[in-house]
Amino acid sequence: MNDRDWIILKTIAEERNITKAAERLYVSQPALTYRLKLLEREFRVKILIRTPNGVILTPQGEYLLTYSNEMLLRLTKMKEQLASFGDKVKGPLRIGSSAIFANYELPQLLHGFRELYPETEIFLKTGMSKQVRRMIEHEEVAVAIIRGDPEWKEEKHLLFDEPVCLVSKTPLEVEDLPNHPRIIYGTDSSLQSLVSEWWRKTFARPFIESMAVDTMDTCRRMVQQNLGWAILPSIGLSEFDDLLLHPLFWPDGSPLIRKTWICYGAYAKELPTVRAFIDYVIKQFSARDTATTRATNGSLIVP
């Protein structure tokens, strides 16, 4: 069993379909089936069970999958360590990112980083912040960008905080929200808890839920059609000038905010590529904060 076999098992487990797995691996279906038979012969176990809906792994196959995932992770970490010996910024960079951050901020960050360090190989995983936190806890990624207030005991740096806003198509007063339909969306539990706590402290009665959608983008599109109002973090909303944004405040007058952190283990900064990425991201957001401060003070003209 070699690294190619590890990738085969991982891909089949994700696709649960031999044909789709073969397409992803750029091999023919007969070739993939033949390789699986060789593995079953080598270990003298049955790895897959075919069902009307595809394939599933047997308990023995699940055990081999766990081994394969561990070995792929060890292989990647070995490449990281080997690349670090020359103290040059090159080789693999394993990043975990909040899906919202990956959508609105990460593409331009990765583009700029690759321009500076073209010999890096970027491996990216995205998900909700709680999923990304698990990735870095299990060392599936070397650096993670997490929103909210992550329970991370090692090193982290606050990149920025942003207002959480009432978003509507037409003018709407905050005190009138319980009388109008709200659109909610599937988001991280930390933001759900934050907004729920704000509502309890602000209103004595529940909101009127008109729609429940899966993503922030879908929610925003519904608001654009004036189908209801929503409470959204302001990330990415500046692109949509047809929406009205009203930052929310706690009853004591303090703003309702959403934080974004870059998190990493102490060992990660020993790797030149990881260290360079952390420094680059922090520098980019520090420069943005400086520009914002200058604009607020009236010394920067913003078109």
Does pLDDT of 266 surpass 90? no
Q: How far is CA 55 from CA 48, 69, 149, 154, in A?
A: 6, 19, 39, 40
Give the tens place of pLDDT for each residue, 208-238: 998 999 999 999 999 999 999 999 999 988 8
Q: How far is CA 203 from CA 4, 28, 164, 207, 229, in A?
A: 57, 60, 17, 9, 16
Give the tens place of pLDDT for each residue, 163-216: 999 999 999 999 999 999 999 998 888 899 999 999 999 999 999 998 999 999
Is CATH 3.30.1540.10 the right assignment for the domain spanning 89-159+259-293?
no
Q: How far is CA 269 from CA 73, 156, 160, 162, 275, in A?
A: 18, 12, 21, 27, 5
Give the tens place of pLDDT for each residue, 9-50: 888 888 888 888 888 888 888 888 888 888 888 888 898 888
Residues 249 and 255: beta-carbon distance below 8 Å: yes
Is CATH 1.25.40.10 the right assignment for the domain spanning 3-70?
no
Give the tens place of pLDDT for each residue, 79-133: 766 766 666 788 889 999 999 999 999 999 999 999 999 989 999 999 999 999 9
CA dist 119 and 92 (Å) reads: 9
Neighbours of 191 (CB within 10 A): 21
Does pLDDT of 290 surpass 70? no
| CATH topology agreement for domains 3-70 and 89-159+259-293 | no
Where does 161-257 sit in CATH, by number? 3.40.190.290
Q: Where are the domains of the chain?
A: 3-70, 89-159+259-293, 161-257
